[in-house]
């Protein structure tokens, strides 16, 4: 599997976005996600958009994040909003969504974002299962669909915990802790 950073307006991203929008429209019997998105919102360091390609070079999964800060739609300072997480039907069940999610979290963390947030819906139980099993918890609703009954918003802190930071420092330390010099 090859995961590449691309622009949100890349032809493969557009094609996968059309597929995910068709799936949203079918599941919710509407027009799909109407959240306004601009390709520049996903440009580093304020975002990132990824596509996973299979061994034949076919785009099979996608996802991105964009920076958000406190506003009247309910976002908080330091938020990184997850958008367009999607795996094509034939590639599901291989862990691609988890790979992309982890890469997006790492990127947002490295960019100084403090919380990853997302909006999904009750008609996407697979998405809810992915996020909750990845440490996401329900948060106060935000964004375009914050007043919709089927909408659910999730968040996960991105900052390293004290234990993880200490462990990371221990792993990168060239010193031998058992040495008298430490």
Name all domains of the chain by residue range, CATH numbers in brackets: 2-169 (3.40.630.30)
As a residue count, the chain comes to: 182
Choice between 100 and 174, residue whose per-residue pLDDT is larger: 100
Confidence check: pLDDT of 178 > 80: no
For 87-130, write each residue's pLDDT tens digit. Answer: 999 999 999 999 999 999 999 999 999 999 999 999 999 999 99
Count of helices and strands (H, E) across the chain: 4, 7
Residues sharing a CB contact under 8 Å with residue 16, sequence separation 6 or more, in sequence order: 51, 59, 61, 62, 84, 86, 88
Residue 75's Cα: distance from chain center in Å? 15
Q: What integer best gives the mean pLDDT of the chain?
A: 90
For 24-64, write each residue's pLDDT tens digit. Answer: 999 999 888 889 999 999 999 999 999 999 999 999 999 99
Of the candidates 145, 139, 152, the one whose C-alpha atom is nearest the C-alpha of residue 73 is 145
**Distance in angstroms (rounded) separating the CA atoms of residues 1 and 4:** 10
Percent of the residues in the chain that have a pLDDT greater than 90, as a whole number:
84
Q: What CA–CA distances, in Å, run from 36 to 27, 32, 39, 83, 90?
A: 20, 12, 10, 11, 28
**Distance in angstroms (rounded) separating the CA atoms of residues 89 and 116:** 25
DSSP string, 47-85: EEEEEEE-TTS-EEEEEEEEEE-S-TTS--TTEEEEEEE
Instruction: Count Cβ atoms below 10 Å from residue 28 Cβ, excluding itself.
Output: 16
């Amino acid at each position: 599997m090859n995961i590449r950073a691309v622009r949100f307006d890349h032809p493969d991203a557009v094609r996968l976005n059309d597929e995910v929008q068709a799936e949203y429209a079918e599941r919710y019997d509407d027009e799909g996600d109407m959240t306004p998105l601009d390709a520049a919102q996903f440009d580093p360091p304020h975002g990132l958009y990824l596509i996973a390609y299979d061994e034949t070079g076919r785009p099979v999964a996608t996802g991105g994040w964009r920076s958000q800060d406190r506003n009247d739609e309910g976002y908080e300072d330091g938020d990184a909003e997850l958008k367009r997480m999607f795996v094509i039907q034939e590639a599901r069940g291989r862990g691609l969504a988890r790979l992309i999610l982890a890469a997006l979290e790492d990127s947002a963390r490295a960019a100084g974002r403090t919380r990853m947030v997302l909006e999904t819906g009750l008609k996407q139980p697979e998405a809810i299962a992915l996020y909750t099993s990845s440490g996401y918890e329900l948060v106060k609703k935000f964004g375009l669909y914050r007043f919709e009954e089927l909408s659910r918003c999730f968040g996960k802190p991105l900052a390293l915990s004290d234990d993880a930071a200490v462990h990371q420092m221990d792993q990168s330390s060239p010193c031998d802790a058992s040495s008298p010099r430490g």
